[in-house]
Amino acid sequence: MKLFVDTGDIEEVKKAASWGVIDGVTTNPTLIAKSGKGFKETVLAICDAVPGGDISAEVVATDYDTMLKEALEVSSWHEQVVVKVPLIEPGISLVKTLADKGIRTNVTLVFTVGQALLAAKAGATYISNFVGRVDDLTLDGMEAVRDTVNMVETYGYSSEVLVASVRHPLHVLEAIKAGGHVATMPLKVIEALFKHPLTDSGLERFLSDWNKAGLSIG
Ligand code: G3P
């Protein structure tokens, strides 16, 4: 599974990148606004922090012509940039146009397998199925992920299912069980993946016994 960090904060990106297990970064207009910095400077800094990683940068227009102009602009910034496009009618047309030009896309705000089918048929590189926002409605957000993975594999679409709106490590476990190709999540969720009390207590015991024996390496 590819692991992306979902943030516009370059310091968070640098921390996640330091572990050597991050495959990319997803941003969105809200995350960029929170960064307090310019869009292009933030995206370029993220590209530098995650060499070779796919960096999603979202268009903000909602009409085809302006979306296309924005998409060509952001994709020109860096070869790592993946154009993020909301699943609206002009957005699907844009994804098709960009796919025909060899420009990679991440279709976002996807909540149903029907929406995912449109994205896959348009040639989306990534399909971002949102989970947490559906769970917030006391519904099973992971259901559409399972159905989308099944759909992509059944019909042989090239799109990768990107599990998004991830709130906690259990979402990561469920995304793995669903066969999601990518999971994107806030830094705090990745940090939580490291944690287990038995790991902490086990290491404490190892080091205590080692030190009591007066041992050293070298
Ligand atoms: O950035 C896409 C998605 O991961 C955002 O999720 O629901 O935490 O805003 P959310």
Please tell me if the CB atom of residue 159 comes closer than 6 angstroms to any atom of ligand 1. Answer: no
CA-only gyration radius of the chain, Å: 19
Instruction: Kindly state the average pLDDT of the residues 137-164.
Output: 98
Please tell me if the CB atom of residue 35 comes closer than 6 angstroms to any atom of ligand 1. Answer: no
Nearest Cα residue to atom 5 of ligand 1: 165
Give the number of the atom of ligand 1 that is nearest the alpha carbon of residue 27: 1
What's the burial of 9, exposed, middle or buried (CB within 10 Å: 0-12/13-18/19+)?
Answer: buried
How does residue 180 score in pLDDT terms, banded at 50, 70 and 90? very high
Which pLDDT score is estimated for 37? 96
Helices 187-194 and 169-178 sit at what angle, rounded to 10 degrees?
90
CATH 2.40.50.140 fits 2-212, yes or no: no
**Cα separation, 57 vs 88, whole angstroms:** 17
163 Cα to the center of ligand 1, angstroms: 10
Please tell me if the CB atom of residue 168 comes closer than 6 angstroms to any atom of ligand 1. Answer: no
205 Cα to the center of ligand 1, angstroms: 39
User: Is 127 within 8 Å of 151 (Cβ atoms)?
Assistant: no
Active-site hit among 84, 96, 101, 195? 84
User: Is 68 within 8 Å of 94 (Cβ atoms)?
Assistant: yes
Residue matched to tokens 């991440």? 106
**Cα separation, 206 vs 90, whole angstroms:** 59
Which pLDDT score is estimated for 203? 98
112 Cα to the center of ligand 1, angstroms: 16
User: Is 64 within 8 Å of 96 (Cβ atoms)?
Assistant: no
Instruction: Kindly state the average pLDDT of the residues 124-140.
Output: 98
Q: Which of 25, 106, 133, 189 to mutate to test the pocket of ligand 1 (most atoms within 8 A of CB)?
A: 133
Which pLDDT score is estimated for 207? 98
Q: How many residues does the chain have?
A: 218
Nearest Cα residue to atom 8 of ligand 1: 165
Which pLDDT score is estimated for 144? 98
**Cα separation, 75 vs 14, whole angstroms:** 22
How does residue 199 score in pLDDT terms, banded at 50, 70 and 90? very high
Is pTM beyond 0.95 here?
Answer: yes
Question: Is 84 assigned a catalytic role?
Answer: yes
Residue of 107, 102, 74, 112 whose CA lies nearest to 91: 107
Give the number of the atom of ligand 1 that is nearest the alpha carbon of residue 185: 4
Q: What is the mean pLDDT of the chain?
A: 98
Instruction: Kindly state the average pLDDT of the residues 66-91.
Output: 98
Written as six digits, the tokens of 31 are: 């995350």
Instruction: Kindly state the average pLDDT of the residues 130-159.
Output: 98
Secondary structure class of 168 (helix, strand, coil): coil
Which pLDDT score is estimated for 40? 98
| Sequence letter at residue 60 | V
Instruction: Kindly state the DSSP code that residue 159 receives in the 8-state scheme.
Output: P
**Tens-digit pLDDT profile for residues 100-114:** 999 999 999 999 999
Which pLDDT score is estimated for 172? 98
